[in-house]
Amino acid sequence: MRLGYPPPASFETLGAMLAAVEEDNPNMTVIASELFSAEIPGRVLAGELDVGVALHPEPMMGIRTEVLRVERLEAVLSERHRLANASSISLADLEHETLLLFPRELAPSYYDRIMEGFERVGFQPRVTAFPNPPVHAMLARLLGAREIGLIPASFAFHLAQAQPGIVAREIVGLQILAEWSILWPARAQSAAIERFLDSARRCATDNHWLTPQDAIATAKADSLTATSR
């Protein structure tokens, strides 16, 4: 199975899903490729991928999608940032901050969801975006303490645990929710794709991925467990 996934899936979402696929289908080999969400539907339609996981994928004729996970966005920032000592942060707290985001064309609907969240609290944030942003480049920018990232909780807490100098903070009050969807060809698909989808759905159910509160609690618990080891 050829699977495409975006960078924020790499810490938790991808690992849990692949573990479920392996448990259910021990003879299935998954070849996973890291791509940006905007690329994935076209790659599936072209037959270059069998399935994909993407954040808010754009609708495309010939592609079927199903929401796999819903989770809250959380803030990641340098431990030297002025907001780092706060136990939690609201969107309103970010009015005079600069957000570090990806270029809109890499995930248009996801980017717009973030902007709409700020519109609901009454302002448009300043944004710094740079093309094809790898995770390590984002971390280097955040360590400068001039910007704040907003990323899915499952990525944020694991990233903060893995990277010295970076902390993750819960966003309280009005929330911005990220939706992960699984994609596959609308045309008649193979039995292997059906088995993969069944395993992904089981993984979502077992991990309560369609309940944002459960998602953040799981991410925090995993982070605390890793700290205690």
Establish how many alpha carbons lie within 13 A of residue 153's alpha carbon, considering only the half-sphere containing its beta carbon: 28
Give the span between the Cα atoms of 86 and 84, in whole angstroms: 5
Q: Quote the strand ranges of 11-94, DSSP E.
A: 31-34, 51-55, 63-78, 88-90
Tokens linked to 59: 């609708």
Does a structural domain hold residue 131? yes
Shared domain for 203 and 164, answered yes or no, is: no
Shared domain for 63 and 82, answered yes or no, is: no
Shared domain for 112 and 76, answered yes or no, is: yes
- Identify the CA nearest to 150 among candidates 114, 105, 103: 114
Tell me what pLDDT residue 39 has. Answer: 93
Shared domain for 119 and 162, answered yes or no, is: yes
Tens-place pLDDT, residues 98-136: 999 888 988 899 999 999 999 999 999 999 987 666 677
Give the span between the Cα atoms of 132 and 115, in whole angstroms: 20
Q: Give the structural domain span for 152.
A: 71-172
Shared domain for 78 and 158, answered yes or no, is: yes
Shared domain for 88 and 46, answered yes or no, is: no
The CATH number assigned to the domain holding 24 equals: 3.40.190.10
Asked whether 88 and 114 are in contact (CB, 8 A), the reply is: no
pTM for the full predicted model = 0.84
Segments of the chain scoring below 70 in pLDDT: 131-134, 188, 212-229
Tell me what pLDDT residue 10 has. Answer: 86
Shared domain for 52 and 105, answered yes or no, is: no
Does a structural domain hold residue 228? no
For the chain, the domain total comes to 2
Does a structural domain hold residue 20? yes
Among 172, 187, 206, identify where a domain stops.
172
Shared domain for 81 and 166, answered yes or no, is: yes
Tell me what pLDDT residue 107 has. Answer: 87
